[in-house]
Structure 1
Amino acid sequence: MKYTCTLIAVRNIEKAKQFYHDVLGLEVVADFGANVTLTGGIALQTADTWKGFIHKQDEEIVFGNNACELYFEEDDMDNFVAKLNIIKGIEYIHPLFEHSWGQRVVRFYDLDKHIIEVGENMNIVVKRFIETGLSIEETANRMGVPVDYVRSCST
């Protein structure tokens, strides 16, 4: 068996395609109308056809349940956040902040209230700490990760 992608139901597939392109830079790999595959392993499905696929035609699709998120990593968080801040209509869950292990992240909703997290690439976090003068061992301690992990990120 092989994992292929994550599929999310959306209210308006055209607006969703545009959002994922404009905000996250994802491109359309395949467009079948009611189902669209994007780069990065994400597929969009119209909510109406999704209800039929799961045999729940008479039930409502619940958006905004905060039970999961789509996670992305970014090498240049400052530029990404600057770009995000000029896009109208972004509903933030929280602005950019730094986790205890040093990774900077921002979370926001897409148009259908799916949570999107964009986190700083962990290799960049390691390099940032080393550039501030921390040793490999100090960086591992600061991040709460094994020294071998820091070594693998810093090479």
Structure 2
Amino acid sequence: MKFICPLIVVRDVGVSRAFYEGVLGQSVGHDLGENVAFEGGFAIHLRSHFASLICVDEGDITVRSKNAELYFEEDDLDAFLERLNHTGSIEYVHGLVEQPWGQRAVRLYDPDGHIVEVGEPMENVARRFLASGLSIEETARRTLMPEEFVRQCI
């Protein structure tokens, strides 16, 4: 058995596709109309069609369940945040936070209320800590990453 991808259900494929392409910079791998697969490894599926596929009423599909998220990493998190500031229709779960392990991240809702997290890669976190004067050992403890990982980030 082979896992293929997570699939999220959306009310309007066009609106969601525009969000993932325009706001998050994702590229479409396949567009089958009611189902769009992105090269990043996830897909969106039209809510009404999905409901019929799984034999439930469309109203039975929970919106904003807050039980999962799509996770992305962005090398230039500051530039991404600036771009978000110029996108008027973004609703945030929370603004920029620094996680206990030092990674900076923001969480927002997509047009259908799915949670999207965008964080900086852990390599960038390690480099930021090293540049601030922390040793390899201190950086490893602070980021919860192995010392070998931190060394590879130099």
Q: What is the TM-score with the length of structure 1 in the denominator?
A: 0.94
Instruction: Give the secondary-structure state (helix, strand or coil) at the position aligned to 2:44.
Output: strand
Query: 1:42 is matched with which residue?
Result: 42
Query: 1:119 is matched with which residue?
Result: 119
How far off is 1:58 after superposition? 6.0
Instruction: Give the secondary-structure state (helix, strand or coil) at the position aligned to 1:141.
Output: helix
Query: 2:5 is matched with which residue?
Result: 5
- Equivalent pairs, count: 154
Instruction: Give the secondary-structure state (helix, strand or coil) at the position aligned to 1:33.
Output: coil
Q: Distance in 1 between matches of 2:46 and 2:121?
A: 31
Q: Distance in 2 between matches of 1:136 and 1:120?
A: 19
Structure 2 unaligned spans of 5+: none
Equivalent position amino acid for 1:126 in 2: A
How far off is 1:74 after superposition? 0.8
Instruction: Give the secondary-structure state (helix, strand or coil) at the position aligned to 2:60.
Output: coil
- Provide, for residues 21-79 of structure 1, a one-character-per-residue CA deviation record: whole Å limited to 9, x for no partner: 11110111111111111120111110001001111136421110100000001111100
Query: 2:54 is matched with which residue?
Result: 54
Q: Distance in 1 between matches of 2:39 and 2:108?
A: 20
Q: Distance in 2 between matches of 1:106 and 1:87?
A: 15
How far off is 1:92 after superposition? 0.4
Query: 2:70 is matched with which residue?
Result: 70
Instruction: Give the secondary-structure state (helix, strand or coil) at the position aligned to 1:133.
Output: coil
Segment drifting more, 125-134 vs 102-111: 125-134
Instruction: Give the secondary-structure state (helix, strand or coil) at the position aligned to 1:87.
Output: coil
Instruction: Give the secondary-structure state (helix, strand or coil) at the position aligned to 1:8.
Output: strand
Equivalent position amino acid for 1:110 in 2: D
Identical counterparts, % of pairs:
46
Instruction: Give the secondary-structure state (helix, strand or coil) at the position aligned to 1:45.
Output: strand
Q: What is the TM-score with the length of structure 2 in the denominator?
A: 0.95
Instruction: Give the secondary-structure state (helix, strand or coil) at the position aligned to 1:72.
Output: strand
Equivalent position amino acid for 2:49 in 1: T
Query: 1:80 is matched with which residue?
Result: 80
Q: Distance in 2 between matches of 1:87 and 1:103?
A: 24
How far off is 1:111 after superposition? 0.2
- Structure 1 runs (4+) deviating above 4 angstroms are none
- Provide, for residues 75-113 of structure 1, a one-character-per-residue CA deviation record: whole Å limited to 9, x for no partner: 111001000111011000110111111100000000000
Q: Distance in 2 between matches of 1:71 and 1:117?
A: 5
Equivalent position amino acid for 1:73 in 2: E
Is the 8 Å Cα contact of residues 9 and 50 (structure 2) preserved in structure 1? Answer: yes
